[in-house]
Amino acid sequence: MRKLKIVELYAGTARSVEPFRSWRRAELALLLDVNDFAKETYLANFPNAPFLRRNLTAISANEILQAAGGRIDVLLGCPPCQGFSESGLRVATDPRNWHVRKFANVAAHARPMMVVMENVPTVADSQQFLYLTQRLQQIGYECASVIANSAQYGSCQTRQRLLFVAYRKEVRSAVRFPRPTHGGTVPIFSYSTGQFVDPRANLREALGITPATQRLSQLMSEDFSEYLGEKPLVTIGDTLQGMPRADSRAGGQLQHSAWMHSTRVLRRMEGVREGCRWKGGEDHFAHSYGRLHRRGLARTITTFFPYAGGGRFWHPTANRSLTAREAARVQGFPDDFKFLDKSKKTAALIGNALDACLADLCYRMVRRALEI
């Protein structure tokens, strides 16, 4: 059987393609991203990877196809999501939103067996997403989408993402989204109530599903928002278990070092109990200056996790934000993945990465479809 050429656009640290590396039939044909630092970081881990640094606005679909060796079997990608995100301004004319159309046009030109895109759930409200689905349907693809929460698939992070798949009709009967595996019966800490909640009684509260996601889930091909997997939810305490002390010799080997915080921020946070947040001002979002709970889920890791005011990123017991290695663990990076430095550029790579559990979900769906 011939090798299947896998291509990831907007690759960053190539987390979407990572699980495909274990599949004998998969051949990594091309990674493409405009970020020099992302390319340097990935090649430091995988020196021979076919990583092309190009701006997607300045490269044609045909050039991408030729760079991949003239054929693409599986096209993966997460176009920039900032213009669609609930935490942003959501301006319809944001130039970054154009990349969803670019992704659609590359797929339409290359005609892969399968196309998989990940983005924030609110992309489903956009004209760009409508263009993507209609563009591919017009040339004979079947399309499906689901809003998946990474915590329902084994992550300690409640990260909600829209997963879109388009597939040629010859693989239609085999394509379906894997059902969630986690939920269980073990009580989980709820940041909204400050109490422990039984997932069986209120899974939405346990996961912290946003109102927009609840509304948009009705438009999806499948709705897993109330689906309770058998395995217990994985907590932030489970994920950080066994980490050495930050800034120790063992911590240094893991690039596990505390960020610099001002005296003002440290004083602001030192009296905040586990699972609570500082409430001394109204100039921040609901989860800003929040401390995680060891028996709770992590909130979505963003590029702002080094900052106390950027979200609920404060360590459950230590008076500091999550380190780069801790945030990388939450995102599912293995401890042996090397980052080039301890800088905000590294934090951006970690925050922009796809949660490993969602990447594995997509991989399992693609592999099952193409092996039958």
Write out pLDDT tens, residues 3-14: 999 999 999 999
17 CB neighbour count, 10 Å cutoff: 24
Q: pTM, whole model, 2 decimals?
A: 0.93
- The DSSP output letter for 290 is B
Are the C-beta atoms of 101 and 63 separated by less than 8 Å? no
194 CB neighbour count, 10 Å cutoff: 11
284 versus 265: the higher-pLDDT residue is: 265
| Band of residue 199 on the pLDDT scale cut at 50, 70, 90 | very high
234 versus 225: the higher-pLDDT residue is: 234
Angle (CA) 283 287 291, round 5°: 115
Chain-centre distance for alpha carbon 16: 9
- The DSSP output letter for 278 is -
Chain-centre distance for alpha carbon 134: 25
| Sign of the torsion formed by the C-alpha atoms of 268, 272, 275 and 281 | negative
| Band of residue 208 on the pLDDT scale cut at 50, 70, 90 | confident
Q: Alpha-carbon distance 298 to 187, whole Å?
A: 15
Q: Alpha-carbon distance 287 to 240, whole Å?
A: 20
Average pLDDT over residues 301-315: 93
- The DSSP output letter for 111 is -
Strand partners, 143: 166
- The DSSP output letter for 284 is S
What pLDDT shows up at residue 214?
A: 73
Are the C-beta atoms of 283 and 352 separated by less than 8 Å? no
Q: What percent of the chain has pLDDT over 90?
A: 76
| CA dist list (Å): 143 to 44, 112, 139, 359 | 36, 13, 11, 19
Nearest to 75 by CA among 16, 150, 2, 149: 16
Please name the residue that has the structure tokens 């090397």: 338
The 10s digit of each residue's pLDDT in 44-69 is 999 999 999 999 999 999 999 999 99
> Which domains, and CATH codes, for the chain?
4-180+356-371 (3.40.50.150), 183-236 (no CATH)
**Is residue 213 scored above 90 in pLDDT?**
no
The 10s digit of each residue's pLDDT in 63-116 is 999 999 999 999 999 987 765 565 554 555 666 678 899 999 999 999 999 999
Query: Three-state DSSP class for 359?
Result: helix
